[in-house]
Structure 1
Amino acid sequence: MKLEKWNGALLVSLSLALGVAGGYGFAYQRMSAAPNAVAEQDINTVPERKALYWYDPMYPQQKFDKPGKSPFMDMQLVPQYASGAGDRATVSIDPGLTQNLGLRFATVTRGTFHSSLDVTGVLALNERDVAVIQARTVGFVERVYAHAPGDVLNANAALADILVPEWAAAQTEFLALKRNGDAELLAAARQRLRLTGMPAALITQIERSGKVQPYLTLTSPIAGVLQALNVRTGMTVATGDTLARVNGLSSVWLLVAVPESHAGTITVGQTVEARLPAFPGTVLNGEVSAILPETSADSRTLRVRVELPNPDGHLRPGLTAQVRLNRSSEHSVLWVPSEAVIRTGRRALVMLAEDTGHYRPVEVQPGQESDGKTAILKGLEEGWKVVTSGQFLLDSEASLKGIVASTEDESPPSAAAAGIHEADGDKSGSQP
Structure 2
Amino acid sequence: MTDATTKARWRAAILAAVLVTGGGGYWLGQRGGDATAPGAASDDSRKILYYYDPMFPNQKFDKPGKSPFMDMELMPKYADDGAADAAPGIIVDPGARQSLGMRVVAAEMGSLAATVDATGSIEFNQRDVAIVQARSGGYVERVYRLAPGDVIGAGAPIADVQLPEWGGAQTEYLSVKRLGRPDLTAAARQRLRLMGMPEAVIAEVDRSGRTGGRLTVRAPIGGVVQALNARAGVTLAPGQTLAEISGLGTVWLNAALPEAQAGLVQVGQRAAATLTAFPGESFGGRVVAILPTAAADSRTLTVRIELPNRSGRLRPGMFASVALGGDARPALLVPSEAVIRTGKRNVVMLEMGDGRYHPAEVATGREGGGKTEILDGLAAGEKVVASGQFLLDSEASLTGLAVRPLDAAR
Shared fold (TM-score greater than 0.5)?
yes
CA-atom RMSD in angstroms: 3.0
Shift of 1:213: 1.0
In 2, are the aligned partners of 1:57 and 1:78 still within 8 Å (CA)? no
Deviation digits for residues 245-277 of structure 1, max 9, x if unmatched?
211111111222223343332223333222223
User: In structure 2, do the counterparts of structure 1 residues 393 and 311 end up closer, same or farther at CA, with 3 Å as the change threshold?
Assistant: closer
User: In structure 2, do the counterparts of structure 1 residues 342 and 189 end up closer, same or farther at CA, with 3 Å as the change threshold?
Assistant: closer
Q: Match of 2:222? A: 223
* Pairing of 1:76-225 with structure 2 (within 5 A): 89-95=88-94, 97-225=96-224
- Is the counterpart of residue 348 in structure 1 residue 346 in structure 2? yes
User: In structure 2, do the counterparts of structure 1 residues 88 and 139 end up closer, same or farther at CA, with 3 Å as the change threshold?
Assistant: farther
Q: Which of 41, 62, 78 is 1:74 aligned to?
A: 62
Residues in 1 aligned to 2:259 and 2:51: alpha-carbon distance in whole angstroms: 42
Deviation digits for residues 309-355 of structure 1, max 9, x if unmatched?
1223222212222323333444x222211221222233221111113
Say which SS state the counterpart of residue 194 (structure 1) adopts: helix
Question: Structure 1 residues 235-244 or 71-80, which shifts more?
Answer: 71-80
Q: Which of 323, 337, 340 is 1:339 aligned to?
A: 337
Q: Which runs of 5+ in 1 are unaligned?
A: 1-53, 63-69, 412-432
Read off the aligned partner of 2:121 and give its amino acid letter: V
Residues in 2 aligned to 1:335 and 1:240: alpha-carbon distance in whole angstroms: 62
Residues in 1 aligned to 2:194 and 2:101: alpha-carbon distance in whole angstroms: 87
* Pairing of 1:25-424 with structure 2 (within 5 A): 58=53, 72-74=60-62, 89-95=88-94, 97-330=96-329, 332-409=330-407
Residues in 2 aligned to 1:118 and 1:193: alpha-carbon distance in whole angstroms: 55
Read off the aligned partner of 2:401 and give its amino acid letter: I
Read off the aligned partner of 1:235 and give its amino acid letter: V
Residues in 2 aligned to 1:79 and 1:211: alpha-carbon distance in whole angstroms: 114
In 2, are the aligned partners of 1:80 and 1:402 still within 8 Å (CA)? no
Say which SS state the counterpart of residue 141 (structure 2) adopts: strand
Shift of 1:157: 1.7
Shift of 1:95: 5.0
Shift of 1:100: 4.5
Shift of 1:215: 1.8
Q: Which structure is larger by alpha-carbon Rg, 1 or 2?
A: 1
Deviation digits for residues 151-182 of structure 1, max 9, x if unmatched?
11111222222222222222222223334444
Structure 1 runs, 4 residues or longer, greater than 4 Å off? 54-62, 75-84
In 2, are the aligned partners of 1:109 and 1:335 still within 8 Å (CA)? yes
TM-score (normalizing by structure 2): 0.75
Task: State percent identity of aligned pairs.
Answer: 50
Shift of 1:73: 2.5
In 2, are the aligned partners of 1:60 and 1:399 still within 8 Å (CA)? no
User: In structure 2, do the counterparts of structure 1 residues 102 and 168 end up closer, same or farther at CA, with 3 Å as the change threshold?
Assistant: closer
TM-score (normalizing by structure 1): 0.72
- Kindly tell me the number of residue pairs found equivalent between the two proteins: 348
User: In structure 2, do the counterparts of structure 1 residues 194 and 93 end up closer, same or farther at CA, with 3 Å as the change threshold?
Assistant: closer
Shift of 1:133: 2.1
In 2, are the aligned partners of 1:95 and 1:356 still within 8 Å (CA)? no
Say which SS state the counterpart of residue 61 (structure 2) adopts: coil
Read off the aligned partner of 1:200 and give its amino acid letter: E
Deviation digits for residues 187-243 of structure 1, max 9, x if unmatched?
332223223332222111111111111123222111111122222233332223333
Q: Which runs of 5+ in 2 are unaligned?
A: 1-48, 64-75
